[in-house]
């Protein structure tokens, strides 16, 4: 164990090890289930055993997940926050999913007309390595990730490593659920790992807060089946 945050794979051989809770590993109890029940931040690693991300120092950098439905102004909030950093002579590092190129590849754009350049990532990229490569060229005070729902589970963990190992705050902005009401894999992992979560609110056409998004066809009819990812804007999606 070390100070700060902990990434600690727990193997079956760890039945006699102790965690933060005395008597956590008891004879006959699968240590994987013990960890998953005792630590809300625990998740199964690729090897099938729990890997814990535990916050011990609340003063450290944090992983933030700002989530919402469509057309809530997530990119606007991101761009404003990035501008605030630059205004204070601190350079942010912006990342965007390459799959969403509606504003042009390598750009984060808002519906109100502001935009900024960003490096892009695909599902195959190691985001920890990308941030390390960026830091080798120039300093960065904060990492911003747009369209975070397109992150893979592993990439969400990589961003957690950026926070914990590189001591940089990471702010992710993305959708929580798809048009079927199901979590995106990246969003689900961020909900599990984020130190702080914030809802970016928007309104339904009824005037109340929108909580879901529907996909519609060319005639305005709701679609209930199809691929989880389909890039589109107001012509395709409606927040309700």
Q: Which two three-digit tokens encode residue 151?
A: 């992150």
Sign of torsion over alpha carbons 234, 236, 237, 238: positive
| Confidence band of 217 (pLDDT split at 50, 70, 90) | low
In this predicted model, which residue has the larger pLDDT, 234 or 11?
A: 234
Q: 128 near 7, Cβ under 8 Å? A: no
**Proportion of the chain above pLDDT 90, given as a percent:** 40
Q: Which two three-digit tokens encode residue 227?
A: 């691929």
Is pLDDT at 177 greater than 70 in this prediction? Answer: yes
Q: 182 near 227, Cβ under 8 Å? A: no
Catalytic residue among 147, 218, 225, 235: 147
| Confidence band of 187 (pLDDT split at 50, 70, 90) | very high
Cα distance between residue 30 and residue 7, in whole Å: 19
pLDDT of the residue at 220: 67
| The 3-state secondary structure of the chain, one letter per residue | CCCCEEEEECCHHHHHCCCCCCCCCCCCCCHHHHHHHHCCCCEECCCCCEEEEEECCCCCCCEEEEEECCCCCHHHHHHHHHHHHHHCCCCEEEEEECCCCCCCCCEEECCCCCEEECEEECCCCCHHHHHHHHHHHCCCCEEEEECHHHCCHHHHHHHHHHHHHHCCCEEEEEECECCCCCECHHHHHHHHHCCEEEECCCECCCCCECCCEEEECCCCCEECCCCCCCCCCCCCEEEC
Is pLDDT at 5 greater than 60 in this prediction? Answer: no
Cα distance between residue 186 and residue 145, in whole Å: 12
Which range has the top average pLDDT, 62-76, 156-170, 222-236?
Answer: 156-170
Cα distance between residue 11 and residue 121, in whole Å: 32
Cα distance between residue 239 and residue 40, in whole Å: 30
Q: In the annotation, is 147 catalytic?
A: yes
């Amino acid at each position: 164990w070390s100070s700060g945050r902990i990434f600690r794979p727990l193997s079956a051989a760890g039945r006699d090890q102790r965690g933060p809770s005395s008597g956590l590993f008891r004879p006959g109890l699968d240590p994987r289930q013990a960890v998953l029940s005792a630590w809300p931040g625990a998740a199964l690693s690729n090897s099938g055993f729990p890997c814990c991300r535990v916050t011990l120092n609340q003063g450290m950098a944090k992983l933030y997940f700002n989530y919402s439905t469509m057309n809530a102004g997530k990119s606007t909030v991101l761009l404003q926050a990035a501008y605030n950093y630059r205004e204070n002579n601190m350079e942010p590092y912006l990342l965007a999913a390459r799959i969403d190129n509606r504003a042009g590849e390598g750009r984060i754009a808002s519906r109100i007309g502001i935009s900024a350049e960003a490096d892009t990532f695909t599902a195959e990229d190691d985001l920890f390595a990308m941030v390390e490569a960026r830091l080798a060229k120039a300093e960065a005070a904060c990492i911003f990730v747009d369209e975070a729902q397109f992150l893979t589970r592993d990439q969400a963990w990589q961003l957690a490593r950026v926070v914990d190992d590189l001591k940089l705050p990471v702010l992710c902005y993305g959708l929580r659920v798809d048009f079927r009401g199901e979590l995106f894999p990246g969003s689900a992992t961020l909900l599990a790992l984020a130190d702080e979560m914030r809802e970016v609110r928007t309104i339904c056409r009824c005037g109340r807060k929108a909580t879901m998004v529907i996909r519609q066809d060319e005639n305005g009819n709701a679609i209930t089946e199809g691929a989880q990812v389909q890039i589109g804007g107001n012509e395709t999606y409606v927040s309700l």
